Structure 1
Amino acid sequence: MRTAVFRETPLLIGIVALIGLETTTVLDWLLLQPALPVLTGLGLLSVLVLLMARGVAHHADQLAERLGEPLGTLVLTGSVIVIELALIASTMLTGDSNPTLARDSMFSVLMIVLTGVKGVTVIVAARVQRQGRTQPMQPEDLAAVNQSGSSAYINLITTMSVLALVLPNFSQDSLEANYSLPINWLLTFVSISLYAIFLRGQVGRYRNLFLDTAQQQTSGSLSLADSTAEAPTPPDEAEGSILKNGALMAAGLLVLVLIAESMGTLIETGINDLGLPSSLGGLLVGLLVVAPEALNAFQAAGKGELQRSLNTLYGSSLSTLCLTVPAVLAIGEFTNTDVILGLDPLESVLLVLTLILVRPISGRVSELDGLMLLTVGVVWVALQVVS
């Protein structure tokens, strides 16, 4: 009981902090201070957000075990995309006009997830796989990935990345790096339709493509000895656990969204005071957005469940592309706000390189695969700082 209460302490502190930010003038006072107090406040809120993200990841992990894969990770993916859409929508509706906001946000999430988080996840899973082995690794000893499911994810991520972030630079029907209104509506329809079809297949007919090898072998075939060895969880207790974890995860995400909005203002002020590149703000906000999913992926990789980690990461990238693009295009159209989708040439090259590296060559991965992704991520971050 004490452990459960202690685990929810960050959420309680977050609620208190949120009430203080919303009902007092402490945020306005902090924004008028020099850089050091602003960065101190930002650091404290960042620590709180990370602790809350850890709690969200725990409840998502519990839901994944109760609901099974891949439905379990879809719950976290769907919840986290709400954070991103809320941040972008609130900035577009109330903040200064920034036509590249959605583009920078999507690109930041993709690079953080596909290079940094996946790189660490692959390294952790590979090390777990080789624990206790004294002989040289053989191909069959490497961390296993369901190649069919991963390829389906990456094919769709690649398609939407090129259509939404690269191809607009070469479009002839608009003066800016964007499409004309009819093509934008077509892109919106395609994004939502592909995502809906993909989700239907993922939780339905093609569910086994998103399970790891061990889960496929045991799916739907339990022996009598296994079924009688342990008493099943009562339906009421299982349903109560799902509702409890779902409610706590939703509460944590809601508080995270509202605190992250205040942090966005602090990030912008701190960057301006220190004379840092404005693109660094998108990187910091992106880190806050993906924190719950990143921690959930690390936890799964630490248990050797690489496929569940990849389902979380690829699902986050795919939902970012398929849901954020229609949302920002609609908001831009209804509010007469300019939206630029096409990436700069340097970013386009990094995106293409990332999509090549994440594509599975075989059903096995090693620490070297993760190291290459981390290298690209470090170079991208360095370019954000010095640009």
Structure 2
Amino acid sequence: MDVEQSPTRERRTSFVVLLLGAGTLIGLHATNLLPWLLEGSVLSLLLGLAGLGGVILLLALQVVHYADALAIRLGEPFGTLILTGSAVVVELALIASTMGSGEANPTLARDSMFAVLMIALTGIKGISVFEAAREQEKTLREPLQDSDLAAMNIGGSITYVNLITTISVLALIVPNFTTQTTEANFNGPGNVVLIGAALGLFSVFIAFQTGSYRGLFTESREQRQWLGAADGGHEGIPEVAPAVAWLAAGLLILVINAESMGELIEASLNGLGLRSAIGGTLVGLLVLAPEALNALRAASRGQVQRSLNTLYGSVLSTLCLTVPAVLLIGELTGTKVILGLDPLEMVLLGLTLLLIRPTLGKFTQLDGLMLLVVFVFWIALQVI
């Protein structure tokens, strides 16, 4: 979908996507299709997974389209907040459905959160940084000067990275060193402290981000100068109320379909005898589909900070909201939840957090390539 398409075509496309999603939902639950897929051959299971994944991707495209429209109407950072909040809803639906189906998978939440972190901060950010730098550098003189490079708003970026570092270490590394339990998790009081820290930090951050610190999360002065003062206005952009309605409808159908997706993912892993970490990677890919599209689109336009807001916001909301939710779900369902990463993953997390720390607030294509190397290395480790 394109934000600037005609209103009639836009409504028609949105209606068709919603109809396809609703039809898929009815077909899975009003017939024996879902049980047949879950109990059938591995081939039919994979075909069902691919088909449902395609429908969810179309719904995700609709969500990102209207989130993009809201970002233009409301300004940053409200648009990306809506988008990242939508992604967390999708992730929780996938994790909750998978936790409640099939064999217990105590590391699913950890694996999906780590996958979201690695995909967003190394894969998508690597491509976005490379694309933003390439787009800006190709129109400038050589040799390039520091003032020519794509620029982030360093104040907001440092705040994001510091928060992501704090919560990721507390939730994914510290559990490995606690003496409260014999496994990589906390006991009841420890979980209460972690939940309070995650929700408290996130609440305070949102209050500042949408209040007195809002200017830290808009494009830097250098980037605004490169982009130009004109933003094209709001011509052809959906109004706020219709955009919210279409986004909510698409998100609702997507979340309900995601429950079936979780069951298919769990059954596929069991049928193929694959590592449980791959399930977390699949969840992460589905969750990040809207953000990935939004971030890449913004980067291709040279909107560096908007791209970073989308990626960093997604990771931060995933950590701060998913951790409390899965701990509560685990408590209610009696499912054990393991948060601590394996040693190799802790090293990759440390390297990623080191590479994303802002230095001079400028980007080159080499910065993107370094992140992509880490991403490819991590992906390779999932399959070998």
Q: How far apart in 2 are the matches of 1:46 and 1:119?
A: 24
Deviation at 1:28, TM superposition (A): 1.6
Residue in 2 that maps onto 1:205? 212
Deviation at 1:90, TM superposition (A): 3.0
User: How many percent of aligned residue pairs carry the same amino acid?
Assistant: 56
Residue in 1 that maps onto 2:66? 59
Q: How far apart in 1 are the matches of 2:266 and 2:198?
A: 31
Q: How far apart in 2 are the matches of 1:361 and 1:284?
A: 32
AA of the residue aligned to 2:363: V
AA of the residue aligned to 2:324: P
- The answer to whether the 8 A contact 2:97-2:263 is kept is no
Deviation at 1:89, TM superposition (A): 2.5
Q: How far apart in 2 are the matches of 1:87 and 1:153?
A: 25
What TM-score do you get using the length of structure 1 for normalisation?
A: 0.90
Residue in 2 that maps onto 1:306? 304
Deviation at 1:94, TM superposition (A): 4.7
Residue in 2 that maps onto 1:173? 180
Q: How far apart in 2 are the matches of 1:245 and 1:92?
A: 32
Deviation at 1:215, TM superposition (A): 9.2
AA of the residue aligned to 1:128: E
Q: How far apart in 1 are the matches of 2:35 and 2:95?
A: 21
- The answer to whether the 8 A contact 1:125-1:302 is kept is yes
Q: How far apart in 1 are the matches of 2:361 and 2:153?
A: 6
Deviation at 1:182, TM superposition (A): 1.6
> Could you give the per-residue CA deviations for residues 178-197 of structure 1, whole angstroms, max 9, x where no partner exists?
12222221111111111111
Residue in 1 that maps onto 2:153? 146
Q: How far apart in 2 are the matches of 1:244 and 1:274?
A: 43
Give matches, 1:225-304, under 5 Å: 241-304=239-302
1:182 maps onto 2:189 in alignment:
yes
Q: 1:93 to 1:31 in 2, by over 3 A?
A: closer
Q: 1:108 to 1:56 in 2, by over 3 A?
A: same
Match of 1:325 among 313, 323, 335: 323
Q: How far apart in 2 are the matches of 1:99 and 1:130?
A: 46
AA of the residue aligned to 2:368: G
Match of 2:9 among 3, 17, 25: 3
Q: How far apart in 2 are the matches of 1:367 and 1:159?
A: 28
Number of corresponding residues: 373
Residue in 2 that maps onto 1:48? 55
Q: How far apart in 1 are the matches of 2:243 and 2:173?
A: 39
Give matches, 1:69-84, under 5 Å: 69-84=76-91
Q: How far apart in 2 are the matches of 1:211 and 1:261?
A: 35
Q: How far apart in 2 are the matches of 1:217 and 1:378?
A: 32
AA of the residue aligned to 1:245: A
AA of the residue aligned to 1:203: T
RMSD: 2.4
- The answer to whether the 8 A contact 2:140-2:148 is kept is no
- The answer to whether the 8 A contact 2:158-2:357 is kept is yes
- The answer to whether the 8 A contact 2:113-2:280 is kept is no
Residue in 1 that maps onto 2:371? 373
Q: 1:134 to 1:7 in 2, by over 3 A?
A: farther
Q: How far apart in 1 are the matches of 2:276 and 2:220?
A: 44
Q: 1:204 to 1:216 in 2, by over 3 A?
A: farther
1:102 maps onto 2:117 in alignment:
no
Q: How far apart in 2 are the matches of 1:53 and 1:79?
A: 10
Q: How far apart in 1 are the matches of 2:67 and 2:222?
A: 19
- The answer to whether the 8 A contact 1:59-1:245 is kept is yes
Deviation at 1:33, TM superposition (A): 3.0
- The answer to whether the 8 A contact 1:276-1:385 is kept is no
Q: How far apart in 2 are the matches of 1:316 and 1:57?
A: 13
Instruction: Classify the secondary structure of the residue corresponding to 1:78.
Output: helix
Residue in 2 that maps onto 1:111? 118
Q: How far apart in 1 are the matches of 2:311 and 2:168?
A: 15
The list of structure 1 runs, each at least 4 consecutive aligned residues, that deviate by more than 6 angstroms after superposition, is: 215-218
- The answer to whether the 8 A contact 1:70-1:311 is kept is yes
Residue in 2 that maps onto 1:385? 383
Deviation at 1:357, TM superposition (A): 0.9
List runs of 5+ in structure 1 lacking aligned partners: none
Deviation at 1:95, TM superposition (A): 4.5
Instruction: Classify the secondary structure of the residue corresponding to 1:276.
Output: coil
Q: How far apart in 1 are the matches of 2:100 and 2:42?
A: 27
Residue in 2 that maps onto 1:359? 357
> Could you give the per-residue CA deviations for residues 208-227 of structure 1, whole angstroms, max 9, x where no partner exists?
11111249979xxx9xxx9x
- The answer to whether the 8 A contact 2:185-2:337 is kept is yes
- The answer to whether the 8 A contact 1:50-1:291 is kept is yes
AA of the residue aligned to 1:160: I
Residue in 1 that maps onto 2:129? 122
Deviation at 1:267, TM superposition (A): 2.6
AA of the residue aligned to 1:210: F
Deviation at 1:273, TM superposition (A): 3.2
> Could you give the per-residue CA deviations for residues 248-268 of structure 1, whole angstroms, max 9, x where no partner exists?
112112222222222222233
